[in-house]
Amino acid sequence: MDSTDNNKILEVKNLKTYFYTDGGVVKAVDGVSFDLKVMETLGIVGETGSGKSVTALSILRLIKQPPGKIVEGEILFNGNNILDMNIRELQDFRGNRISMIFQDPMTSLNPVFTVGNQIMEAIIAHRNVDKKTARIESYKLLEMVGIPDLKRRFTSYPHEFSGGMRQRVMIAMAIANSPDILIADEPTTALDVTIQAQILELMEELKEKTNSSIIIITHDLGVVAKYADRVMVMYAGKAVEFSDVGTIFYKPCHPYTLGLMESITRLDETKREQLKPIEGTPPSLIDLPEGCVFRLRCRYAIEKCRKEYPPFVEIEKGHFAACVRAQEFLSGSLSRVKK
Amino acid sequence: MDDIENPKKVNIDSSVEEGEVSIGLAQDFFMGRKYAKTSLYKDAWKRLKRNKLAMLGLAIVIFLIVLAIFAPFIAPYDPIDRVKEDSMLGPSGTYWFGTDVLGRDILSRVIYGSRISLEVGVIAVGISVLIGLVLGAISGYFGGVSDAVIMRIADIFFAFPYILGAIAIMTVLGQGILNIFIAIGLLGWASFARIFRGSILSIKNKEYVEAARALGASNYRIITRHIFPNSFAPIIVYATMNVGTAIIVEAALSFLGIGVQPPTPAWGKMLSESLDYIDIAPWMMVFPGLAIMITVLGFVLLGDGLRDAFDPKMKQ
Amino acid sequence: MTDNNKLLEVKNLKKYFNLRGGFLFQKSQGTVKAVDDISFFIRKGETFGLVGESGCGKSTTSRVILKLTAPTSGHAYYKGEDIFKMNNHELFKMRREIQIIFQDPYASLSPRMTVGDIISEPLEIHRISDKKSRISKVKELLKTVGLNPEHINRYPHEFSGGQRQRIGIARALALTPKLILCDEPVSALDVSVQAQILNLMNGLQKEFDLTYLFIAHDLSVVKHVSNRVAVMYLGKIVEVANSEDLYKSPLHPYTMGLLSAVPIPDPEAEKQRKRIILEGDVPSPIDPPSGCRFHPRCPNAQEICSKSEPELKNYDLSGNEHLAACFFAGKPI
């Protein structure tokens, strides 16, 4: 990716994160490159095992070692490589410059401490403030994320909160030190539809207020369509397509992106008799097929796909794809999903 | 809605650090779910083989079994044969472990003693497991009053000191190897019932059990086909460890003189016989003592290893 | 029972759970009204969708219909006969005709049984055919659901989520049922695999003349599969209508909010769309709000809503049925 753009706050180059298991080497993330601009929302889309969560964990170096290991690549935050940081620098960095929200707000909060305590902890860990200031800050944060009945809630334990409320608390903790980047890993998957809408709106609102960038990891194309500026589609540990949201939805140039668009059920269409699924199942990350990883499920596969994994190249300005036939999709000589 | 019947369920996992949780999930996905190609038991065996301590435990246990079965061929002398002039000889080329007051070969007695210890260990624990499984199944599967009653009785058994209980039962039943089985077996069931009840409670609301019920499967079928095979791992682990405990209790009973009767060689009995001669013939105590220690260690190591092998996540 | 086409009719169904505490002498600590007086029917051959958020009672409804848990009160007529009044023998026979498919393809198959064991279990329980013909039947079923019959001796963990769901479907089909209760059958699956399973279920419905009760929280999936849809909120049905009508012109404010909350995978359309964000959390079913249970979150709520409970009434004048339980049904928010 060219680095002429000074706007980039995060740049990931050729990231490879492998897990060494009994069964063999799991190539969870295998050569992923992307960048994140200031105040941008980047959506990372993919199915289970596509490597989207591992990518996020790698950015914060939260990969547990063993069995995991970041074997290659660079993760540049404002030009500094996160992979070169020592433990102290890393501790100072996590939760401070980049913070993360996880899918399950129950397991991400410690059940034996009150919610207020945990937020204060997050503040004190990174800022040199006394308890009183931290308490006042915590109140402000909880108010900001829309926790009602603050006084009582401050001294409550996580299990006394509903799923949505817990996720609000997680968000409050994540933004406690006004980080530059907020990574949200399936933040609403465990929540109900109406609560999901509340949380996503809240994140959008906070992004405006705090001028931060967001990486949102999800399998929900609707969420991406609504909130993301740019989208990276992942499959079997690789980035297959990366562009602005409009291009991804209206002009996809990778058969996997295309397949995803066609296979989803949508609220805004009349009943279809048959859906158009992507046949087959994702390959085992231990034993990837030779050539293109998507080849075995691809309707457009040709002889060339067998030979080698196609490089992830810029097929038009700001539009990257890893498919030997991407140009054909782009020029329209191969038919695509209709809008 | 599944949680509605026990709304106070607390997630134990939640004390783990943020990052680790997600990685745990990822690991689960990579290792346990999609990419596993073998069954639980094969998998567990693979992990067990890599655990050196567990393999040492297994070696000890196998060695003991071989010793017990082939005792007549292995033992150099008859264990109850007295040779008056050879009384209290120290370890030597003729008597590797020395001899006791009555001039019996200690090595042969230790080898034969393994028979009693293993018999008691296996049979008594077998009785415990059997009672525990039945009562645990009733308690866990049917719940309600039967659950409350069985578990309260189990509590009483827990509260009662093991050895004291064994002594009490032995006094009532009288001496004899059969009664040792019964005494130790009766005392051990409570933990098995608890463990089994616990796994049943977690399994009985699983969807595959509901699926079986929706198919019209009988309670008997559900327990034997669906619940038993899925809750066996912790029982195996706990039973292995318990064999060690049972052996110690038997030794204690024999030591106190209410266990195995002379002249049958039993390690506990040998210890008590050695007491008076500690100063002049320490080998009389050392070898049976070592035998008990190594045996119990073997079972505990194996049990520990099995636990880690069945549930690698538990170790972390 | 005027409509002969009704395969299943549920009337005034209630399911309360007593929360108990203490040990030997347990005392009640409140009642969860998981399902509170709901009525609906399913016509032969149709797919009836039941949507709602977690805790609304939709899954409990399916468990009660199958009598996996006893109802508190009410009736469920299968082919005109009340399931709750059946004796054990009748119930056993009924179980051949009503089957269930579960949400979690990992939890719904016993990890210690082979695929062959799992799929032949229903045949075994109901003593259908001998062992040899059972095996060939299982192989046939595997083929029907799109799996390789050679894999009959494999264990569930050797399959992917989608394949496991196919195994679950094969088990449900083994007894050639008439009605299948599908409890969130695709919500644990990835999108590309969801479509495979939905297509499979659609095909099977035609091939075997099946009727589905399709329970899900995903509105777009429910819309895709269902002929008619009922929306549940806190143990109550708040709206029932033909799928198209419900999505085009929802009458109940909860339905409106629910539909609006689902983001559409279309960036341009999404930018222009005005969203209704329902405030607050779903209240606890232990002590549900008085009157209309939705009133604390409802933007249209008036005084009457907290005082009395609206009835489920028909608002369609053209002869179709479009039921809603709201005093201000159809009023935009």
The closest CB to that of B215, out of C24, C55, C122, belongs to C122
Say if residues B188 and B125 touch (Cβ distance below 8 Å).
Answer: yes
Chain A residues within 8 A of B19 when measuring between CB atoms: 57, 60, 62, 64
Could you tell me the CA-to-CA distances from A15 to A102, A314, B22, C260 in Å, in that order? 21, 18, 19, 38
Statement: residue A295 has pLDDT above 60: yes
pLDDT at C103: 86
Amino acid residing at A282: P
Instruction: Please report the residues numbered 26 through 55 in chain C whose beta carbons come closer than 8 angstroms to any beta carbon of chain B.
Output: 26, 32, 34, 54-55
Statement: residue A3 has pLDDT above 50: no
Whether residue B1 and residue C54 make contact (CB cut-off 8 A), yes or no, is yes
CA C110 – CA B227 distance, rounded (Å): 9
- Closest approach of C17 to chain B, Cα-based (Å): 7
CA A142 – CA B91 distance, rounded (Å): 77
Whether residue A265 and residue C198 make contact (CB cut-off 8 A), yes or no, is yes
Statement: residue B25 has pLDDT above 50: no
pLDDT digits (tens, 9 = 90+) for A158-190: 888 888 888 888 888 888 888 899 999 988 887
Whether residue C217 and residue A193 make contact (CB cut-off 8 A), yes or no, is yes
> Subunits touching B (CB < 8 Å, at least 3 pairs)?
A, C
Q: How confident is the model at residue B143 (pLDDT cuts 50, 70, 90)?
A: confident
pLDDT at B273: 83
Statement: residue B83 has pLDDT above 80: no
The closest CB to that of B23, out of A26, A57, A110, belongs to A57
Statement: residue B32 has pLDDT above 60: no
Say if residues A257 and A233 touch (Cβ distance below 8 Å).
Answer: yes
Q: Which of B154, B294, B299 is nearest to B239 (CA)?
A: B299
The closest CB to that of B14, out of A53, A57, A109, belongs to A109
Statement: residue B263 has pLDDT above 80: no
Compute the count of residue pairs across chains B and C with CB atoms less than 8 Å apart: 90
Q: What letter would DSSP give residue C277? A: -
With a CB cutoff of 8 Å and minimum separation 6, the contacts of A21 are A67, A286, B30, B31, B35
Strands C179-183 and C211-216: parallel
pLDDT mean across residues, chain B: 79
Mean per-residue pLDDT, B77-90: 77
Q: Is the CB of B23 inside 8 Å of chain A's CB atoms? A: yes
Q: How confident is the model at residue A336 (pLDDT cuts 50, 70, 90)?
A: low
CA B262 – CA B269 distance, rounded (Å): 8
Chain B residues within 8 A of A100 when measuring between CB atoms: 18
Chain A residues within 8 A of B27 when measuring between CB atoms: 19, 64, 67
Percentage above 70 pLDDT, chain C: 96
Q: How confident is the model at residue C3 (pLDDT cuts 50, 70, 90)?
A: low
With a CB cutoff of 8 Å and minimum separation 6, the contacts of B31 are A21, A22, A23, A67
pLDDT at C112: 82
Statement: residue B19 has pLDDT above 80: no
- What DSSP line would sit under B112-176, residue for residue? HHHHHHHHIIIIIHHHHHHHHHHHHHIIIII-HHHHHHHHHHHHHHHHS-HHHHHHHHHHHH-SS
The closest CB to that of A22, out of B10, B16, B46, belongs to B46
Q: Is the CB of C96 inside 8 Å of chain B's CB atoms? A: yes
pLDDT mean across residues, chain C: 89
Whether residue A267 and residue C219 make contact (CB cut-off 8 A), yes or no, is yes
> Subunits touching C (CB < 8 Å, at least 3 pairs)?
A, B
Percentage above 90 pLDDT, chain B: 16
Q: What letter would DSSP give residue C133? A: H
Amino acid residing at C184: E
Structural tokens at position A35: 């960048």
pLDDT mean across residues, chain A: 87
Whether residue A23 and residue B27 make contact (CB cut-off 8 A), yes or no, is no
Statement: residue B12 has pLDDT above 80: no
Whether residue B215 and residue C95 make contact (CB cut-off 8 A), yes or no, is yes
pLDDT at B224: 86
Whether residue B2 and residue C59 make contact (CB cut-off 8 A), yes or no, is yes
Statement: residue B27 has pLDDT above 80: no
Instruction: Please report the residues numbered 232 through 271 in chain A whose beta carbons come closer than 8 angstroms to any beta carbon of chain B.
Output: none
Q: How confident is the model at residue C319 (pLDDT cuts 50, 70, 90)?
A: confident
Q: Is the CB of B148 inside 8 Å of chain C's CB atoms? A: yes
Say if residues A226 and A53 touch (Cβ distance below 8 Å).
Answer: no
pLDDT at C27: 59
A101-115, A191-205, B134-148, C147-161: the lowest-pLDDT one: A101-115
Whether residue B215 and residue C32 make contact (CB cut-off 8 A), yes or no, is no
The helix/strand/coil state of A315 is strand
Chain A residues within 8 A of B21 when measuring between CB atoms: 102, 104, 107-108
Mean per-residue pLDDT, A282-304: 87
Whether residue C171 and residue B211 make contact (CB cut-off 8 A), yes or no, is yes
Amino acid residing at B118: L
Kindly report the pTM of this predicted structure.
0.81
Statement: residue C217 has pLDDT above 80: yes
Instruction: Please report the residues numbered 97 through 156 in chain C whose beta carbons come closer than 8 angstroms to any beta carbon of chain B.
Output: 98-100, 102-104, 106-113, 121-122, 125-126, 155
pLDDT at C276: 84
Instruction: Please report the residues numbered 147 through 176 in chain C whose beta carbons come closer than 8 angstroms to any beta carbon of chain B.
Output: 155, 157-158, 160, 168, 171, 175
CA A128 – CA A115 distance, rounded (Å): 21
Mean per-residue pLDDT, C68-79: 93
Instruction: Please report the residues numbered 290 through 329 in chain A whose beta carbons come closer than 8 angstroms to any beta carbon of chain B.
Output: none
Instruction: Please report the residues numbered 173 through 192 in chain C whose beta carbons come closer than 8 angstroms to any beta carbon of chain B.
Output: 175
Statement: residue B102 has pLDDT above 60: yes
Statement: residue B257 has pLDDT above 80: yes
CA B55 – CA B98 distance, rounded (Å): 31
Chain A residues within 8 A of B13 when measuring between CB atoms: 107
Strand partners, A60: none
The closest CB to that of A264, out of C191, C259, C282, belongs to C191
**Nearest Cα residue in chain A from B47:** A22
pLDDT at B39: 63
- Closest approach of B150 to chain C, Cα-based (Å): 10
Strand partners, A181: A98, A213
CA B18 – CA A118 distance, rounded (Å): 13
Mean per-residue pLDDT, B255-267: 82
Say if residues B80 and B263 touch (Cβ distance below 8 Å).
Answer: yes
- Predicted ipTM of the assembly: 0.84
Q: How confident is the model at residue B315 (pLDDT cuts 50, 70, 90)?
A: very low
Say if residues A117 and A109 touch (Cβ distance below 8 Å).
Answer: no
Q: How confident is the model at residue C25 (pLDDT cuts 50, 70, 90)?
A: low
CA C255 – CA C323 distance, rounded (Å): 12
Statement: residue A146 has pLDDT above 70: yes
Whether residue A198 and residue C278 make contact (CB cut-off 8 A), yes or no, is yes
- Closest approach of C54 to chain A, Cα-based (Å): 7
pLDDT digits (tens, 9 = 90+) for B47-74: 888 888 999 999 999 999 999 899 888 8
Across A99-103, A233-237, B205-209, which has the greatest mean pLDDT? A233-237
Q: How confident is the model at residue C21 (pLDDT cuts 50, 70, 90)?
A: low
Chain B residues within 8 A of C167 when measuring between CB atoms: none
Helix or strand holding residue B254 (H, E): helix B232-256
Structural tokens at position B154: 């189990």
pLDDT at B106: 85
CA C65 – CA C212 distance, rounded (Å): 13
Mean per-residue pLDDT, B9-35: 33
- Closest approach of B196 to chain C, Cα-based (Å): 17
Q: Is the CB of C267 inside 8 Å of chain A's CB atoms? A: yes
- Closest approach of C196 to chain A, Cα-based (Å): 5
pLDDT top residue among C52 and C28:
C52
Structural tokens at position A238: 């690789």
Q: How confident is the model at residue B37 (pLDDT cuts 50, 70, 90)?
A: very low
**Nearest Cα residue in chain C from B221:** C125
Across A142-151, C7-16, C269-278, which has the greatest mean pLDDT? C7-16
Identify the residue among C110, C128, C213, C233 best suited for mutation to test binding to B, counting B beta carbons within 10 A and taking the highest: C110
CA B162 – CA B153 distance, rounded (Å): 15
Show the DSSP H helices in chain A as ranges. Answer: 52-59, 87-93, 105-108, 115-126, 131-144, 150-154, 163-174, 193-210, 221-227, 245-250, 255-263, 303-307, 326-331
B267-281, C158-172, C305-319: the lowest-pLDDT one: B267-281
CA A24 – CA A67 distance, rounded (Å): 11
Strand partners, C81: C78
Helix or strand holding residue B24 (H, E): helix B18-27
CA B90 – CA B102 distance, rounded (Å): 13
**Nearest Cα residue in chain C from A198:** C277
pLDDT at B3: 35
Whether residue A102 and residue B11 make contact (CB cut-off 8 A), yes or no, is no
Whether residue A48 and residue C54 make contact (CB cut-off 8 A), yes or no, is no
Chain C residues within 8 A of A197 when measuring between CB atoms: 260-261, 263, 275, 277-278
**Nearest Cα residue in chain A from C245:** A270
Instruction: Please report the residues numbered 30 through 89 in chain B whose beta carbons come closer than 8 angstroms to any beta carbon of chain A.
Output: 30-31, 34-37, 46-47
Statement: residue B308 has pLDDT above 50: yes
Chain C residues within 8 A of B229 when measuring between CB atoms: 110, 112-113
Across A265-269, B38-42, C9-13, C160-164, which has the greatest mean pLDDT? C9-13
The closest CB to that of A102, out of B10, B18, B46, belongs to B18
Distance of CA C273 to the CA centre of its chain: 29
Amino acid residing at A217: I
